[in-house]
Structure 1
C-alpha cells in the first residue's frame, strides 16, 4: 500500500477547500478543519480527513445544513443546551466545550449538552480542550450508525457511543482517555479497509458470532449489513460483555436521551430522506480548585502518573505508557514528518475535489 506523508497545513487547506466548496461558512469550516487535522496529528486516522467521504454522502443526501450556526437553547447557571442546526458537529461541540469550561471556572462545574448535531469527530479533542485550560473534561456522544452487537444477539442495535476524559497534570502531559464502547471504533475498520490490512481477531463478528478479519468484509458488516457487527467493549460476542453493552447505553442516555437526541434503532426506522440525524453530545468540565487547594490536584496527578511510568516494564525497550502518551508521541512525529495518507484515501479526496470543484492540494 502506497502512502504519502502530507504536511498538516496542507491537509488543513485541503479540508477547508472542500468545506468551502460545499458552502460551509468560513469561520465554522475553520473550526472543523482545525479539529480534523489535530485528530490526524494525534494518530486517530479514523476521525480526521478520512471522514470527508462520509460527510459528502450526508451532504448529497440533504442531511447537512452547512450554513447553520450553533444556537443557545437554554442557559441556566452551570448548565446549558445548544442546538447544532443539523450542521457538522465540530463547531457546535467546540462552542459547547468552551462554554462548559467557562461555567466550571465560574461555578466549579459546567455541563453543556448539544442536540440536532451530526458527527463531531474524535471525542478526545474536546476533552483535551478542557485539560488545556486547567480543568477536568468528560465528553460523550450518541452516534449515527448501528454497529454494536449486544451479548446473545445476532444483529447490531447500538452505535459505538464513545466517551473521552482528560485531566490536567503539572509536570506531565495531561491524562487523556479516548475510547469507544465497542472493542474498536467503527471507523477504525474503515482505516484497515483503506490500507488493505487484515484486522485483529475479535473486532468484528458475523451473525454466528465468528470473528471477521477481512477488512473489506468487515466494512460490510459494520456499515451495510443488518447482521453481525462490532463486539462490545470487553470481549467478543461469544464471551458476552454485558458491562460494555451497558456502558454504551449509559453514554446514549447522557448524550442522546438527556439532550433530546435520537436513538439510532428508532431513528433508522422512522427517518425520511433528507432528515438530519439529530445526534446528541454531552460535555462536562470540573474545576479542580473547587475541591482542592491551588495546584494540589495537579501535583497529586503528577505523582500518580510518575508511579505508573515507573512500573517495571516487561520489555525495557517498551516503557509503560499512560493514556494520552501514544497520541502525544504520534503528534510530535507527524508534525515533523507529515500525516500519512493511503493511496486509496488520496484517490477518494481527488474524486471529492473533482465533484465539488475544490482544488486538490495534497500533492
Structure 2
C-alpha cells in the first residue's frame, strides 16, 4: 500500500478481499461474493474507477434495503438454438451478466453465433469486462446495456427518458493486444461524474448542460442538468437503439420504466443487458483473422500523425497499460472514496481496506 496526499494505492488482492468481506457480511454467499469482488476490482485495475469499489457503499445500501436478492435463482431460458434470455431474479448484476456471457460462449461454440440477453438484472460494472470474456476463447464479444438511471433526454427535449446505455466490443488479435472498445452513448458515463465529485474535481465542458442549455461543470450540481450524447443527435439515436436491444427485447426496463438506483434503493431495477458472441472459427481460419487484426493495428499505429501527436492509440490500449501499472504499483483509490469505505467497514464491522 502506498499513501499519497489525496489518495492511496492498494493491491488488487487486498481490494478484492475487502469487497468480498463486505458482501459476505451482508448475506451474499461466499463464492458469489468472491466472484463479484473480483469483477469490481478488475474494473478499478483497468482504470474504470466509476464502476469499481466506488459503487460498493451503494450496492450494500441497496442489499440492506432489500432492493437486491441476496440468493437469486438465476435461470436461463433458451428460445432458440443460438438465443437465450437469462432471468436474474433481481440478483447482483455481476452474477447475472457473467452467467449470460458464459452461456453465450457455450452456444457460440456449436452455433457460431449466440445472443443472450438478461432481464431482472442489476448494475454490473463496466461493459468491457463482459465484452472481453469471449476474446479468451477466440471469439468476438459485443455487449449492450441499459443504464441504471436516466440522465439523457431525447435530442432537443428535457425529459430524461434515456440513460448512458453503453456499448462495448472485444476483438481478438494475434501478437497484439485485443482491441477493446467500451463507450457510453453519452460524452461521459454518469459514473465518471460521481468519480469527479468524490475526488473534488470539476467536470470538463461538454459533459453536461443545465436546463437552460449552459455548460454544467460542478459534478455536485449534476441534478440540475443532464448528460450530453456523443455526436449530438447521432448519440441520442444510438442510445435509443442500444436501450431497445439490451432492454426492450428481453422484457427489461427501458425509457420511463428505468429505476434510478442512485435514489431508489428498494424497487427492483429490472436492468437489461445483452451479449452477442461471434465464434471466429465459424468464419474461417482463426489465425487468419487474428493476423489480419495484427496487421491493421500495426498500420494504424504506424500511420502518419498530426503535429504534436506523440502516438496513435487503439481502443483498449490505455486500459491495458493501466492494468500493468496498477498490478505492479497498486490501484489508486481517491481520498473521498477511502473515507466512504472506512465508514462502511465500521458500519459492517469488517476490517478496513487501509488500517
What TM-score results when the alignment is normalised by the length of structure 1? Answer: 0.92
Q: 2:173 aligns with which of 169, 184, 187?
A: 169
Distance 1:212 1:190 in 2: 14
Distance 2:339 2:122 in 1: 25
Distance 2:286 2:334 in 1: 46
User: 1:69 and 1:188, CA in 2 relative to 1: closer, same or farther beyond 3 A?
Assistant: same
TM-aligned CA deviation for residue 72 of structure 1: 1.6
1:140-197 CA distance string (max 9 Å, x none) = 0112201013321234221111010011011110010000011110010011111111
Distance 2:346 2:77 in 1: 38
Distance 1:272 1:175 in 2: 36
Q: 2:345 aligns with which of 344, 353, 359?
A: 353
Partner of 2:219: 215
Distance 2:258 2:54 in 1: 25
Matches within 5 A, 1:339-350: 339-350=331-342
TM-aligned CA deviation for residue 76 of structure 1: 2.9
User: 1:327 and 1:268, CA in 2 relative to 1: closer, same or farther beyond 3 A?
Assistant: closer
For structure 1, the 5+ residue unaligned runs are 222-227, 235-240
User: 1:341 and 1:273, CA in 2 relative to 1: closer, same or farther beyond 3 A?
Assistant: closer
Distance 1:52 1:3 in 2: 17
Q: 1:111 aligns with which of 103, 106, 115?
A: 115
For structure 2, the 5+ residue unaligned runs are none
TM-aligned CA deviation for residue 75 of structure 1: 5.3
TM-aligned CA deviation for residue 359 of structure 1: 2.0
Matches within 5 A, 1:113-152: 113-152=117-156
> Does 2:295 align with 1:299?
no
What is the RMSD of the two structures over their aligned residues, measured on CA atoms? Answer: 1.9
Partner of 1:92: 96
Q: 1:63 aligns with which of 60, 67, 70?
A: 67
CA contact (8 A) 2:78 2:85 kept: yes
SS in structure 2 at match of 1:117: coil
Distance 1:133 1:209 in 2: 46
SS in structure 2 at match of 1:19: helix
> Does 2:323 align with 1:331?
yes
Q: 2:230 aligns with which of 229, 233, 242?
A: 233
CA contact (8 A) 1:113 1:280 kept: yes
SS in structure 1 at match of 2:33: helix
Distance 2:287 2:155 in 1: 44
SS in structure 2 at match of 1:156: coil
Number of aligned residues: 349
Distance 2:36 2:264 in 1: 27
TM-aligned CA deviation for residue 53 of structure 1: 2.4
SS in structure 2 at match of 1:305: helix
What TM-score results when the alignment is normalised by the length of structure 2? Answer: 0.94
CA contact (8 A) 2:148 2:259 kept: no
CA contact (8 A) 1:148 1:158 kept: yes
CA contact (8 A) 1:11 1:362 kept: no
Distance 1:157 1:60 in 2: 28
1:87-128 CA distance string (max 9 Å, x none) = 110011111111111111211001111110000101100011
SS in structure 2 at match of 1:295: helix
Partner of 1:102: 106
SS in structure 2 at match of 1:74: strand
More off after superposition, 8-17 vs 140-149: 140-149
User: 1:264 and 1:14, CA in 2 relative to 1: closer, same or farther beyond 3 A?
Assistant: farther
TM-aligned CA deviation for residue 55 of structure 1: 1.0
> Does 2:238 align with 1:247?
yes
Q: 1:47 aligns with which of 45, 51, 70?
A: 51
